[in-house]
Amino acid sequence: MPSLELRYTYVQRVQPDLLGAHLEAYIELLPVTQALRLCNRFGKGDKAFITRIPVEIVTRIADILAQEERDDLSGSWTCPKWCFMGICDPIDHYTPEEVQRLRGFFSDTEDGPKASIPESAPDADDLAVLNEQMVESMSWDDVLPGVRSWRTLHDEDCRQWTNLVGEPGSCYRGFFDENADIVRNHFGLDVWVAHQVHDEKWYDEDFVQSTLTYLTLPTKGPAYYEWSHRIAGSECSVRLPTENSIEVNMPPPSTSEKSLARFSRAVKILGLEHAVLEPKSGAKGNGASDSESEESKDGGKVAPVLRLLAVSKDDSSAEEI
């Protein structure tokens, strides 16, 4: 059923994989960081096992642990996002050792492909040629044991991304919905996630999609509307032209300097960066203002902005139309 969700509030756009990996690291380390801070509060006398630790040392230890955890988790978020967006290469799905094996397999000789592994490391030209060869050949499981088809691995990463952030058309937003209470209680913010389709092409796909993610100031709730498809006859599945209109009363949210400061605090604690909203290919009047572009270039703090966020979804199956 087609639906439209509107939210009018202060927002700051961030990269979904960065937010996901860093928030997951923050949650994983909560018991440790809380224990560190308690060590700074308790312990008196000669019998105390832990004496007072300077706040600067506690903060430094927490930062080191957070960075290590983020590095460990980044691949499980970034690689699936690349695949979902269609900006990955076939070789991105393999370890360096597997890439060397594939180079040996695709190296042409008079006697056919070689089974040996090249001794030299691949340069940019080698990798470009290997990518082209891998696109042309979808599977070599029978001739290269232990190395799975890059397309199979790519599809698995795409599914992993939608498991993390939710399927297009679905109201469920995976990891971010599951941890919404932590984001609200610890930072006073919400996370708004939506998918976007572009008009470019990648390999054998006819579209490219991306995921938009915003930190938002909580509101009473989004405006949500649903409608049904018009079809020709009771037993026919041919869609008829459909148009719907609504009038929405959405006054600006009440804010203060204290509430807007939640954004900078969350960005600092989670180690986030402001993300620039790229215009669609050939799009005109996409709503991205010049001020947004300038904000992202200074490399400094970016203030939250008041925006109307809109997402249109349709999770109808062919049987439902």
Instruction: Show me where the domains of the chain are located.
Output: 2-90+151-314, 95-146
Give the percent of the chain with pLDDT over 70.
Answer: 73
Residue 237 — very low, low, confident or very high, per pLDDT cuts 50/70/90? Answer: low
Q: Alpha carbon of 228 to those of 3, 223, 279, 320, 321: distances in Å? A: 9, 17, 30, 10, 8
> 300 by DSSP, 3-state: which?
coil
pLDDT, tens digit, 9 for 90 and up, residues 66-119: 999 999 999 999 999 999 998 888 888 888 888 888 887 777 544 444 555 555
pLDDT at position 53? 72
Q: Which of 81-90, 171-180, 189-198, 201-210 has the lowest mean pLDDT?
A: 201-210
Strand partners, 215: 12, 191
pLDDT at position 258? 93
Give the percent of the chain with pLDDT over 90.
Answer: 36
Mean pLDDT over 158-175 rounds to: 92
Task: Give 314 or 178, the one with higher predicted confidence.
Answer: 178
Q: Alpha carbon of 146 to those of 89, 118, 156, 292: distances in Å? A: 20, 18, 17, 48
pLDDT at position 51? 61
Mean pLDDT, the chain, as a whole number? 79
Q: Which of 116-125, 165-174, 185-194, 210-219 has the lowest mean pLDDT?
A: 116-125
